[in-house]
Structure 1
């Protein structure tokens, strides 16, 4: 019963992590620039995401431009796009597989050993999803910080956007949820093996005359 509750909790954490990853990938605030001069009427704000760039000039109205051609994108954006999409796909597959192996579901209910293996595979997929997202978000953040400190005269100095923190949060939740699912599956398998071995030892042997 305790393992089942931990599995549900791990599944919940991984689900919240998936929502964070999807939100982080779709929202255009991976890096931001804000500058004001002589009052609020001459302020400028720029939000750059993976799919478009939005800015608020002095008129106060958002103006967005979509990144049309993939060939004109920087390597940084191309790799981040690809890795975040891969991370989301792995997370969706991990959650779908984990449902089949969770103790509270009726799928593969006739074979506990197979059920444990399925839940373990789902947990591993979720861990891989979190690792992919964590790596690419950290790489993007490092590039933004490096660009901020080494920006040339007249170039914009971008700062970390909200999507980076969402990506980190989603990655950690995916990893934690996957670890809980995988560990519960391993503990259930090991406890079952120890029970079988102890029961076999307690079975009296036959005396032959």
Structure 2
């Protein structure tokens, strides 16, 4: 099936017990056509919705917490507030797709969206560029108070500099989710991001 084949996508969805939609045209986005990639994602969700309407089947899509930072939602929060599952926006790039997914519950679909964070972390990740790294490098605390530099590397730079405090409290309650791995700050404190890279034998 061609990646732009909405009829094929709908037929596959109709034959499935449920759908998890993870696709996004990142190649178009990195080529400078972010609007085109966003529009294609919205069309795909609409096609899936048409195929699954009144079936009671689940449809899971993905969104991102950082979208709300880019839209300025965090500017309205107090210093101690975080983004929660109840926070929504009326419109915006990719937010339109999340809202379209949420609206499918009215069409007899068990729809939900997983908001992904802009970064992930683990002992296997040695490319960290997130909070707390300054401590591991013994940088002075005052460095964190310097004016934020303007983005210089496009898409990645904007994500790395976004202030994106978010909470998973409601998700933990609804799903009985009890994370057991280290939190981001605890993981950074273990030091593996700052270990010397292994040398390659010659």
What TM-score, normalized by structure 2, do the two folds share? 0.24
More helix by share: 1
Larger RCO of the pair (alpha carbons < 8 Å, separation 6+):
1
